[in-house]
Amino acid sequence: MGFFNQLFGSLFKKPDAPALTAEQIDQIQASFAKVQPIAGIAAEIFYARLFTIAPEVQPLFKGEPGSPEMAEQGKKLMATLAVVVNGLKDLDAIAPTAAALAQRHVEYGVKPEHYDKVGEALLFTLEKGLGDAFTPELKAGWASAYGVLAGAMISAAYPGYRRKAA
Ligand code: HEM
């Protein structure tokens, strides 16, 4: 049991909740593959939603909404999400990447509290992109997967930060 799994087992999972199962991971990977061909549109939906529910984070981004810079930013986000999603079965392998990404985010002015908003915008985007295929079970899987990633990024970049209990 490695670093990520320990985190998942202790900090980010209610003691009685099931871990992310291999089946859930398969579903998440298959659903993300469906979103990838429309990655550009998905990224637009994502930022539009994020800036609606968390307008305070918009100034952290250099590009204006709808600008080529934001399109570029959207591509980077989707590419990085692809790495994470494809690595869900071996979280220890992506831990150093996630930690470095989180450290860079501190420099962008990102606060731990922003992670939940990004998670919300991500789930919204998947719901729009996948329609009926975004079943409650799949949504729960994505929510846990994002929770693991965000939790690990937050503990790597903001030592001592305690998330409010949900
Ligand atoms: C948890 C998953 C997240 C992923 C996978 C992700 C991915 C990325 C990537 C790939 C970049 C490009 C630059 C780099 O690699 O350092 C980036 C930049 C950035 N991200 Fe994230 N991010 C995440 C969370 C967040 C959160 C919670 C915020 C809070 C608002 C945020 C705000 C930003 C900002 C402000 C930039 C710099 C934009 C610019 O230079 O214009 N990200 N992100």
Report mean pLDDT in 10-residue bins for the chain, 166 residues.
51 53 94 92 94 97 89 90 91 91 97 97 96 95 93 94 67
Per the structure block, which two tokens stand in for 165?
């209990």
Look-up of token digits 């990004």: 118
CA–centroid distance for 126 within its chain: 11
Best residue for ligand 1 mutational test, from 77, 107, 117 (most atoms within 8 Å of Cβ): 77
| Alpha-carbon span 130 to 68, nearest angstrom | 25
Instruction: Give the residue, by CA position, lying nearest to ligand 1 atom 8.
Output: 77
pLDDT in tens, 81-114: 999 999 998 888 899 999 999 999 999 999 999 9
d(CA 47, CA 26): 26
Distance (Å, rounded) from C-alpha 58 to C-alpha 50?
A: 8
Q: What is the pLDDT of residue 107?
A: 97
The two tokens of residue 86 are 């494809």
Which residue type is seen at 78?
Answer: M
pTM: 0.88
Separation between Cα atoms, residue 8 and residue 110, nearest integer Å: 22
Helical ranges in the chain per DSSP H: 3-10, 22-35, 39-53, 68-86, 91-107, 114-130, 136-157
The one-letter code for the residue type at 158 is Y
Spatial CB neighbours of 47, under 8 Å, sequence gap ≥ 6: 61, 65, 70, 73, 74, 121
Q: What is the pLDDT of residue 65?
A: 82
Q: Supply the pLDDT for residue 151.
A: 93
Tokens of 157: 């970049």
Domain 22-157 sits in CATH at 1.10.490.10
Closest ligand 1 atom to residue 117 Cα is 27
Residue ranges around ligand 1 (CB below 6 Å): 57, 60-63, 73, 76-77, 80-81, 101, 104-105, 108, 110, 114-115, 118, 149-150, 153
From 108, 114, 115, 153, mutation site for ligand 1 pocket: most ligand atoms within 8 A of C-beta: 108
Q: Which two tokens stand for residue 52?
A: 């609606």
Q: Which 3 state secondary structure label does DSSP give 159?
A: coil
Domain layout of the chain by residue ranges: 22-157
